[in-house]
Chain A
Amino acid sequence: MKKNRMFIVSLAVMLVLVFAASGWTAAAPKPKGYPERPIEVVCQYGAGGGSDIFVRSLFNAARKDIGVTVNVTNMTGAAGVKASNYVLGQPADGYTIYNFSPEQLINTVMGREDYRLFTPLVNVQQDESIFYVRGESQFKTIQEVVAYAKANPGKLQFTGTTPQSPDEIIIMQFAKKAGIKIKYIPFDKAPESHAAVLGGHLDILHEEPGVIMSLIEAKKLRPLVAFTEKRLPPWPDVPTAKEIGYDITMGRWRGLAMKKGTPPEIVNWLASVLEKASKDPSYTTIAKKSLLDLRPGWLGPAEYGKFWESEYKVYKEILDDLGYTKKK
């Protein structure tokens, strides 16, 4: 127990240092006459998913500082295009906030929407990508998986959430670097992919650890490789992809955006309010449980915008490379 507490304390210290270092410190002044009525937060994923839990828990913590009601609206479908269109259809007055995710950049690459129509607010989380097998699986290490895939090309079946998602990209990138041929079978709802792997119908699951923590603790799912910079504290035996020679560090990030043209003083004030909320215990307890505190995710509006640019280039390159984009 004591060791555990030490760990938390040191983590907290680390977090504070990280936030301090990120250069976002001075609280922005409250804009005049804002907010004066309820704010709507649009989430393009279904209730109960990782992103939904993220916005709800963050704005639960931010509510008292924002001072007005915040309503979360779930608007699923069409890989987020629908929700994006809805947000862009609202006036840029600061009363509509959007849960912005990597899909928006991928959709831009695929020509379905344009991320440049949004103005960045903040990035809050940087999640971890991990590959898992079920407890009874024959694979003990990721090397065994690669060896098996080399011996049986096209046999191994990977699963993750939705086609052309960050999940698919990371799996395909891994396959390419490892020189193996595999199948990717996506599910629109994440829990179905968990069930397929647990039932032994598919071999390898890509997922962020938060939503399946209980299954990992019960040893029903075993992590094989993490796409992080360092090994993850709960599983010191699980290697990172970098260690075994595949230089991929990736993971879904979760942040917020607004329609382009929203007054900067509103953006800056919301950013400072949200930064405070992201340190509030009612948010951090949930984040810590989902291992969301391990990688520094916080980015202020300006950094987040630059981050979009660089991520867009990364996705474009990978998607071109994997042959998803139309050859002109």
Chain B
Amino acid sequence: MDIWISALQTVFQPTMLFFILLGVMIGTVLGAIPGLNSTMGTALLIPFTFAMEPANGLALLAAVYCGGTFGGSISAILFNVPGAPEAAATGFDGYPMAQKGKAGEALGYAIMSSVLGGLFSVLVMTLVSPQLAKVGLTFSQPEYFALAVAALTLISSLGGAGMGKAFIAGLIGLFLATIGIDEMTAADRFTFGTKALMGGVNFIPAIIGAFAIGEILAKAEEGKGLSGEHLNIKVSTKLPKIAELLRLKWTILRSAVIGTAIGILPGVGATTAAFIGYSETVRWSKHPEKFGTGVPEGISGPETANNAATGGAMVPLLTLGIPGSATTAVIIGGFLVHGLQPGPMLFINQPKLMYSIFIAMFVANIFMLFAGLFVAKLFANFRKVRYSILGPIIFVFAAIGSFGIRNDMTDVWIMFACGLLGYFFKKFKYPIAPMIIGLVLGPLTEVSLRKGMFMTDYAWGPFLMRPIAGTILVIAVGSVLWNLYSVFIKKGKASLEEVE
């Protein structure tokens, strides 16, 4: 108990609180700008934290991490350009909602869900970190495979287009993920002898292209809505009312649990958490066909999950020294400059520091409410700009945002190619979301399958007959079969391509 009091005293000091607020602000802004992200932010801040007290420095880094995970959703909702990978799923429903003139509400849902998800996971982390880390380690390749499959089955229930086309889009996404050097054998795949494609198709440029560039091209062709229309739109960020939040209670709770759990796993991070959060929200919804048209659950589901994963990811980091995401990998550097190494010994040697970080993250999530509102308001002003000016700005940000990830023009071309693909998808009524889901989850699915099968000497029995993996797979496959059944048998529709 004493340790808690002294940790509280560490955190509730003006300098510490200032650093936490600063960190959340920096993180949110970086997350919202395509091409910049919290991973870069933390890497750049580490030399500065060298001169600070360890607790202050680490709280600053953790706050940047929390803010950055939320920030991406601002640009995803307002411009359909996710500023950070974690926000890729938030745009699925966030942008359509903003299109309906409800950008303020969409941002409000995103902020509120982020804060609640973040608080939930920090609470869980504080109470049962070491035990959770042990549970996380029991996950091996078959479990990762089951998780990936469960999220992929979402494709079958994404309404709005024919199921056949949704599957084609999903398969294209999964295929794009195989391009480049194979992780298992280092064989070159689909590189056609070029060095440019060896690094594979990064999903951020692909998402930015498929959504934003596809839309710019479509708008250029339409020629409508290019001028004046946005001038009178007032975007004021509105936090959801209590009644509206209560309606989302199960979505938020489910996604908070999923996000925290996935954050704890060493092999996957907040991006996967967001997609699985979205997937499960659709699965348990009473009206799955409405997703993708701008429903609050579609924002709340992924946004709660990805922020819950930030707290979750700190569990393996602090207890085992195993980073669950790119940003936490950088935060390790923040410990090292102070001569500390994250891992089991840190809990024994520096308990006060550990608990200070926990409390600081809790405070950071509360500050995010204000920082989020402020930054969202700032960016929302851009929506008032007419499209003939906004379009070119978005294009330049899309290009630089893709370039900035690996400083490589290849990514920019991939972005543009996916933009063309996105345009044709839109034109011929192929849904884009399944392609993105496939692209994001592709590497996890393939590698966990092949690695897992290799570990079990290519016997399916030991691969599938595991309590956790088996249960997840049964639920996932069961829900697909149920979907197929209800579409083809109940509604009496006969052929795959006619299901609209």
* Chain A interface residues (CB < 8 Å from chain B): 46-49, 52-53, 56, 60, 72-79, 81-82, 85-86, 110, 112, 154, 157, 162-164, 183, 185-186, 188, 191-192, 194-196, 198-202, 211-215, 217-218, 220, 285-286, 289
Shortest distance from the beta carbon of A38 to any chain B beta carbon, whole Å: 14
Starting from the known contacts A213-B343, A215-B321, 11 additional A-B residue pairs (CB-CB under 8 Å) come to A47-B329, A48-B329, A52-B333, A75-B407, A76-B406, A78-B181, A112-B198, A194-B320, A199-B137, A214-B342, A217-B344
Tell me which residues across on chain A come within 8 A of B337, comparing CB atoms: 286
Q: Is the CB of A215 within 8 A of B344?
A: yes
A-B pairs under 8 A by CB, number = 141
- Give chain B's interface residues, CB within 8 Å of chain A: 39, 43, 46-47, 50, 136-141, 180-186, 195, 198-200, 266-267, 316, 320-323, 326, 328-333, 336-337, 339, 341-346, 348, 406-408, 451, 454-455, 457
Given that A214-B343, A214-B345, A286-B336 are known contacts, is A191 also in contact with B185, CB under 8 Å in the complex? no
User: Chain A: which residue is nearest B335 at the CB level?
Assistant: A214
Q: In the assembled complex, which residues on chain A have CB atoms less than 8 Å from the CB atom of B140?
A: 196, 199, 201
List the 3 closest A-B pairs by CB distance, nearest first.
A214-B343, A48-B329, A77-B199
Q: Shortest beta-carbon distance, B364 to chain A, in Å?
A: 20
Assess the B181–A49 pair: CB atoms within 8 A: no
Distance, CA A200 to CA B138, complexed state (A): 8
A288–B455 alpha-carbon span in the complex (Å): 36
B137 x A77 contact (CB < 8 A): no
- B406→A77 contact, CB < 8 A: yes
B455 touches A185 (CB 8 A): yes
**Residue among A52, A112, A218 facing the most chain B CB atoms (10 A cut-off):** A218
Instruction: Give 28 CB contacts A-B under 8 Å.
Output: A47-B329, A48-B328, A48-B330, A53-B336, A60-B50, A75-B407, A78-B195, A78-B200, A81-B198, A82-B199, A85-B195, A86-B407, A86-B408, A110-B186, A162-B186, A163-B184, A163-B186, A191-B266, A192-B266, A194-B321, A194-B322, A195-B322, A198-B322, A199-B139, A214-B344, A214-B345, A285-B339, A286-B336
Q: Complex formed: what's the CA distance from A78 to B201 in Å?
A: 11
Q: Which residues of A contact B457 (CB under 8 A)?
A: 154
Which A residue's beta carbon lies closest to that of B195? A85
User: Using Cβ atoms and an 8 Å threshold, which residues of chain B touch A79?
Assistant: 181, 186
Could you tell me the distance in whole angstroms from the C-beta of B323 to the nearest C-beta in chain A? 5
| B406, A60: Cβ atoms closer than 8 Å | no
Please tell me if the beta carbons of A157 and B267 are within 8 angstroms of each other in the complex: no
| Chain A hits for B181, CB < 8 A | 77-79
Chain A residues contacting B326 (CB-CB under 8 Å) are: 46-48
Q: Pick the contact of B185 from A77, A163, A212 — CB < 8 Å? A: A163
Q: Tell me whether B455 and A157 are in contact (CB under 8 A).
A: yes
Q: Smallest CB-CB separation from B317: which chain A residue?
A: A191
Contacts of B183 on A, CB cut-off 8 Å?
162-163, 186, 188
Decide if A191 touches B198 in the complex (CB within 8 Å): no
Whose C-beta in chain B lies nearest to the C-beta of A164?
B186
Which B residues touch A53, using CB under 8 A?
333, 336
Contacts of B184 in A (CB 8 A): 163, 186
Q: A78-B199, A79-B186, A214-B345 are in contact. Are A48 and B332 (CB under 8 A)?
A: yes
Q: How far is the CB of A290 from chain B (nearest CB, A)?
A: 9
Q: Are B455 and A82 in contact (CB under 8 A)?
A: no
Determine the distance from Cα of A157 to Cα of B140 in the docked complex, in whole angstroms: 14
Check B343–A195 contact: CB distance below 8 A: no
B164 to chain A, nearest CB (A): 34
- Chain A residue at minimal CB-CB distance from B144: A192
Q: What residues of chain A lie closer than 8 Å to B267, measured between beta carbons?
A: 192, 195
**Complex: A77 Cα to B181 Cα, angstroms:** 8
Q: How far is the CA of A112 from the CA of B188 in the complex (A)?
A: 10
